[in-house]
Copies of this chain bind each other. A is one copy, B any other.
Amino acid sequence: MKSQHIHKVAVIGASGYAGGELVSILMRHPKVQLALITSSEKAGSRLESVHPHLRGLSDLEFAPHPGSNAAELLSDIDIVFLAVPHGVSMKIVPTLPSHVKVIDLTGDFRLSDPRQFEKYYGCKHDAMQHQSQFVYGLTEVNRLRIGAARYVANPGCFATAIQLALYPLIKHDVIEGTIIIDAKTGSSGSGHTPGEATHHPSRSSGFCAYKPFSHQHLAEIEQLVAEHQVRPLGEVILQTHSAPMVRGIFATLYLKMREEFGSAALREFFTASYGVAPFIRYVPGSPNVSWVKHTNFVDIGWAFSGHHLIVYSALDNLVKGAAGAAVQNMNLMLGLDETLALLSVGGYPS
């Protein structure tokens, strides 16, 4: 029986924050064995030297990334997660043996248009021939396709928060005109390498905007809008902000409704679009980052006045915005219960 099988998984790029979150989720997964973790910089080190919270839970050591030895190294691996920096997945994917399924957490294979990739990521794409094999891993929108996929491109953290707030309204032709999105993120989104933007003395009481009109996740959002809009919508304006918190994304979407829909109708658009979606929660009024921190939930709420609609979306950028969604996709790809290993919540207060 399929569900008795223990699947072997590898995390390529396990030394970053998303990689560490993947490891900690996969270690408690009842149907999976975490068989391989790799790191370019930390090869040879023990897991806890990089992720000290995981001390005592595993004897794993970081191996080097797969290279010419990929076929051998991954011979008994069923699922490969790629949690490497943007631009690295496109080098690795072509080398992977054909029996493995792949979940890529980078931006390398999310966009079908290579010009968009170049525009937003600032570099040429090396392996565009593989892109069409990838299913965009926005679980609640592409659940069936993900279940059947061999390659999944996991969405960006901002993109997940925003798209899940937007998709039902686009699909049901509820809105018109320009879509304005004000999004805020915690410092863990910048990764585990120290830098000016994440220096504790200045970040702790700082708040600023960055990448106006140009954050790379905007390309994913535009792609989703283009794919699902019933009638042409206006531009999507995205302004991202750095907030003085560690985990969490909070997106505020400013929309114009074609008609003055009320709360019941709005909820109906969402539930009709998502059906049974165990990780989407509808909240009265505004969600709060503190409620979703360390969980795989995305909490969605709204307010309106006349034709003006504000939709709120909150999630944990490392869980639902990265590692949690990746495991949710893995569960589907393996025919398992979508929620396996993902219902643990112990984050509040935090």
Contacts and interface: CB of A to CB of B under 8 A. Distances in A.
A254 B53 CA distance: 25
A348 B202 contact: yes
Contact of A212 (B20, B208, B290, B305): B305
Given A57-B343, A180-B254, A204 B201 contact: no
B201 A312 contact: no
Given A286-B209, A310-B212, A246 B204 contact: yes
Contacts of A202: 288, 290, 348-349
The secondary-structure label for the interface of chain A is: mixed
Contacts of A123: none
Range class of the A interface residue count: 35 or more
Copies of this chain, complex-wide, total: 4
B208 A198 contact: no
A239 interface: yes
A246 B349 contact: yes
A314 B208 CA distance: 9
A110 interface: no
A248 interface: yes
Interface of A: 17, 20-21, 24-25, 27-28, 51-57, 178, 180, 182, 184, 186-188, 190, 192, 194-196, 198-210, 212-213, 235, 237, 239, 241, 243-248, 250, 252, 254, 278, 281, 283, 285-295, 297, 299, 303, 305, 308, 310, 312, 314, 319, 343-350
29 contacts: A53-B292, A54-B345, A56-B278, A56-B297, A178-B308, A182-B252, A188-B201, A190-B201, A192-B199, A192-B349, A194-B198, A199-B200, A200-B246, A202-B349, A204-B246, A204-B350, A205-B246, A205-B293, A206-B288, A209-B252, A209-B286, A209-B312, A212-B310, A213-B308, A235-B308, A237-B254, A239-B310, A244-B244, A350-B350
